Amino acid sequence: GPVMLDLAGVVLTAEDRELLQHPAVGGVILFARNYADPQQLAALTAAIRAVREPRLLVAVDQEGGRVQRFRSGFRRLPPAAAFGELARRESLQAGLRAAQLAAWLMAAELQAVGVDFSFAPVLDVDRGLCQAIGDRAFAQEPAAIAALTTAWMQGARRAGMASVGKHFPGHGGVEADSHLALPCDGRSFDTLWREDLTPFRQLVGQGLEAVMPSHVVYPAVDSQPAGFSSRWLREILRERMGFQGAVISDALDMAAAEAAGGFVERSQAALNAGCDLLLLCNNRPAAIQVVEALADHHSPAAQTRLARLYSRHFTPHAQVQQHPYWQEANALLEQLAAGASTDLSFDPTTRGGSVV
């Protein structure tokens, strides 16, 4: 199904099980409220997988820094900017190796508890404008971001996990936070193509498995936010850039998504624009309303693209610790943590748990 929704707690309720069996549901996104410890999380994901066949996708935001849903019991990951800083301070090769190892460790730990993928990496350019992005961006230079996020994607792949590049075509050129308002980026398409789209073009060329579009309007291209724009998703992303992966909407409960109407209207608009999977979080009545409206929705092409996001490497944690990368990754992240100066004053995890 085309809907990925959330859960209230650390176990499945009877209502959860009934809803997850609906044909319009395709996955579950987990938040900090769904986590107590690795053992509980593994039991929860196993219960989700057992609800139906083909099994539902299970995802989480586990970028690192401010946006890491599972913390205690997991390796604390640095913000993405730490890899860019390392590349500048020491060498590009050092930054690339660190990004690759961190992504491998993130992916290996998540898969050990039954999570298919994380919504990462962030491909936005940090222009010092958007507090919602900030140190979640790998760097300020598009070429550096492209290199570092390619290394991140490669690390995740080595662990068996797909990557989701966000927020297409770039959220770094606006000041407003799309959780709270509808941002507008007035730059020309040529500027966006040359700068903000550089990381996306690089990773698409390397087979990026999924993209999350932004809830930002780029009036030089379309009057609709990118996630509701067929111009952006079908003409530019798929036709011009040759993207073959899945398109996953940003959370439809965000304030910026209200531009597309009510929950059913914005869901239909996102699907019509070219989204394959819709994120509906923190509003169970709206989720029920949408899945009922989409009960007959069927897209074999979208299902094929989404099938690439399943993990097939649910390796137990004890076995992960025997991998040659384990010690190197942990030692390197310890070094980064010792020198990190992460600003936690703005934490998107406090905004109701929305995907960011």
Cβ atoms of 276 and 245 within 8 Å: the answer is no
Cβ atoms of 302 and 246 within 8 Å: the answer is yes
The Cα–Cα gap between 268 and 264 comes to 6
The Cα–Cα gap between 240 and 211 comes to 15
Q: Is 179 a catalytic residue?
A: yes
Q: Could you say which of 124, 250, 253, 276 is catalytic? A: 250
Tokens of 311: 């993990």
Tokens of 285: 């009545």
The Cα–Cα gap between 215 and 78 comes to 26
The Cα–Cα gap between 119 and 7 comes to 17
Cβ atoms of 248 and 305 within 8 Å: the answer is no
**Nearest to 123, CA basis, from 84, 157, 172:** 172
The Cα–Cα gap between 34 and 40 comes to 9
Q: Could you say which of 22, 167, 171, 179 is catalytic? A: 179
Q: Is 250 a catalytic residue?
A: yes
* Residues classed as catalytic: 179, 250
